[in-house]
């Protein structure tokens, strides 16, 4: 069972033209009220691509970062992370012993 870890703050400064381009993705009706929400959504999809090998996001992350990083992943065989029929469906960084999958 994992223990809660504190959040990590990563200060980010975007070039204005990045912010303008990404701002077109804002949509309060879809839960994207501002640029911060859009960036968080992008980060969430990227991290899903890292730990979920069967997810559409995996291909997206591999297109952006190549495939080499997948060698640093291993199957997450903890019982609570297996599918109902016992299949391994998640991966985790090989150096981590415990990780949440939100």
Reported confidence tier of residue 96, pLDDT bands at 50, 70, 90: low
Is 72 part of any domain? yes
Is 20 part of any domain? no
Q: Domain total for the chain?
A: 1
pLDDT at site 83: 94
Q: What is the 3-state secondary structure (H, E, C) of 59-79?
A: HHHHHHHCCHHHHHEEECCCH
Is 53 part of any domain? yes
- Rounded to 5 degrees, φ, ψ at 30 are -105, 15
Closest CA to 86 of 96, 95, 76: 76
Higher pLDDT, 52 or 1: 52
Reported confidence tier of residue 98, pLDDT bands at 50, 70, 90: low
Domain that holds residue 51: 33-93
Q: At residue 17, does pLDDT exceed 60?
A: yes
Is 89 part of any domain? yes
- pLDDT tens digits for 39-87? 999 999 999 999 999 999 999 999 999 999 999 999 999 999 999 999 9
Is 2 part of any domain? no
């Amino acid at each position: 069972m994992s223990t809660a870890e504190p959040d990590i703050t990563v200060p980010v400064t975007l070039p204005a033209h990045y912010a303008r381009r990404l701002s077109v993705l804002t949509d309060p009706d879809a839960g994207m009220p501002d640029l911060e929400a859009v960036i968080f959504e992008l980060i969430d999809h990227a991290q899903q691509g890292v730990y979920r090998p069967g997810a559409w996001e995996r291909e997206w992350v591999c297109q952006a970062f190549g495939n080499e990083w997948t060698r640093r992943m291993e199957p997450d065989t903890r019982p609570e992370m297996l599918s109902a029929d016992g299949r391994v469906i998640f991966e985790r960084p090989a150096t981590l012993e415990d990780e949440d999958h939100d």
